[in-house]
Structures are given as C-alpha cells and as structure tokens.
Amino acid sequence: MDSNHWQIVDRALAGQRPTDEETFASLAVLTERLHCLKKLGQPYSSIGFSSHVERLKAHKNAVTVG
C-alpha cells in the first residue's frame, strides 16, 4: 500500500473510489512526505498540492470539526 497513497487520493478525487478514512490516511502520509521534502531547502520550497487536493484536505478538516 505504501506506494499507492497517491493513487488512492487520485482515484478519490476522480470519483473512482469513496472518499473515506483510507483516502484521508493516504492524504496524511502524502502531506507528511511533502513537509519533509520542503525541509530539504529552496529547490523544493514551492512544491505543493493541487487546488483539488487542498479542497479535499479542507473538507476533511471541516468534517472533523463539524
């Protein structure tokens, strides 16, 4: 499953799988990996998620709070 995190999130965004806890767990792993990559310095500092992924992250936060 480790190499499939991006596929799980991609398929959820495309409506090919449910947006469930597995999706958000994969998103959490990818978020941590992005954070570690950005800590490597300037060449990586501008890398980020697409607006679709950012909306998915916001949806998770809204569901958790609400």
3-state class (DSSP) for residue 32? helix
Average pLDDT, integer, range 38-47:
93
Number of domains in the chain: 1
Confidence of residue 1 (pLDDT cuts 50, 70, 90): very low
**pLDDT digit string (tens) for 16-26?**
999 999 999 99
Average pLDDT, integer, range 6-32:
95
Among positive and negative, which fits the CA dihedral 59, 2, 47, 9?
negative
Confidence of residue 63 (pLDDT cuts 50, 70, 90): low
Helices (H) and strands (E) in the chain, counts: 3, 0
Domain carrying residue 24: 2-65
Residues ≥6 apart with Cβ < 8 Å to 37: 44, 47
